[in-house]
Amino acid sequence: MPDPAPETRPAPPTTPTPAPIPASTPTPAPAPAPAPAPAPITVHGQTVDDETRCVHYRSAVDVVAIQFHCCRRFYPCHRCHAEAEPHSATQWPANEWNHPAILCGACRATLSIRSYRAVHACPACAAPFNEACALHAPLYFAVPDTVPETVPGTVPENPASAPAQAVSSVAAHR
């Protein structure tokens, strides 16, 4: 009896070998991880709403919090700081006015001191700021001698050169 023909099986499929990457082709770098979101800013003091108003100043335009130079904590006003901290407030020196020490309570944008002093509303959301706060600038910022400002509750050296408008007391405005 003749030997049966050997059984033939189909060859297993082969996986094609990828072409080698030429050495001159750069390998793409992995995408950088997204930057972590900044931590939300905590506003200390006796706030009465989420827009930084406090028990001392709560008009519709009282929507800023200030990061105090001395402790780097945000407060709605100098009175909130005085009530909460065991230390005295210090002024921001003029050479640090590019620091983002102002928080808009309406949109949570931060502004440099220099920017804040140049505007009457938030550049990001257009929320109006309390213009009377300028009366208290010396409580927060070391105002250069070249910028004439009247400190609330004081009388100018030359009353004849004083503005015609009355100066409000510190207790009346931020």
d(CA 164, CA 144): 23
Which of 149 and 32 is assigned the larger pLDDT? Answer: 32
Q: What is the pLDDT of residue 114?
A: 97
pLDDT tens digits for 121-138?
999 999 999 999 999 999
Q: How confident is the model at residue 172 (pLDDT cuts 50, 70, 90)?
A: very low
Q: Is the pLDDT at 159 greater than 70, yes or no?
A: no
Which of 20 and 99 is assigned the larger pLDDT? Answer: 99
CA of residue 168 relative to chain centroid, distance: 29
Which of 108 and 3 is assigned the larger pLDDT? Answer: 108
**CA atoms within 13 Å, Cβ hemisphere of 172:** 10
pLDDT tens digits for 60-109?
999 999 999 999 999 999 999 999 999 999 999 999 999 999 999 999 99
Q: What is the pTM for the complete model shown?
A: 0.64
How many other CB atoms sit within 10 Å of the CB of residue 76? 29
Q: How far is CA 99 from CA 20, 68, 111, 114, 151, in A?
A: 53, 11, 8, 8, 23
Q: Can you list the alpha helix ranges (DSSP code H) found in the chain?
A: 78-84, 113-118, 137-140
Q: How confident is the model at residue 167 (pLDDT cuts 50, 70, 90)?
A: very low
d(CA 118, CA 116): 5
